[in-house]
Amino acid sequence: MTHVVVMSLSGAVGITVLFVVDMLDLFFLSLLGEESLAAAVGYAGTITFMTSSVGIGFSIAAGALAAKAIGQKRRDQACRFMTNVSVVTLAVCIVLTALVLAFIPQLLDLLGAYGRVHELAARYLYTQVNSRCRI
């Protein structure tokens, strides 16, 4: 049980830190006094949260499958699960990233962004995708 608690708390801390960083981004941008910047990061944050959630969901599935296999003393099956989930996660994330990248303006429209906020949010998202995709 200790291992489960430690793993769960580690995951919770990781997710919490992501939210805290987003909150600090918004806070410091709001200090600049330009509301459109803070709004743009808020809209962009919604889209990045949705895409991050997919990765988090896959990691939870991988952890659950591997933990069950390890608990059943089937280390080879756990390794296969992790390999398969990693490959599927990579494929899904590549497709999801391509779709988000292709439809950033439309996604921002759906969220209700318009004008300067729409423009800034799109630039922010393109910059994020560009910086994360570099090897």
Segment 108-117, tens digit of pLDDT = 999 999 999 9
- Domains of the chain by residue range: 21-132
Nearest to 56 by CA among 25, 92, 83, 80: 92
- 3-class secondary structure, 73: coil
Residue 135 has pLDDT above 60, yes or no: no
Q: What is the pLDDT of residue 129?
A: 73
Q: What is the pLDDT of residue 99?
A: 92
Under 8 Å between Cβ of 134 and 51: no
- For the stretch 30-68, pLDDT in tens is 888 888 888 898 899 888 888 888 888 888 888 888 888
What average pLDDT does this structure show over 94-121?
93
The Cα 133–Cα 115 span in angstroms is 27
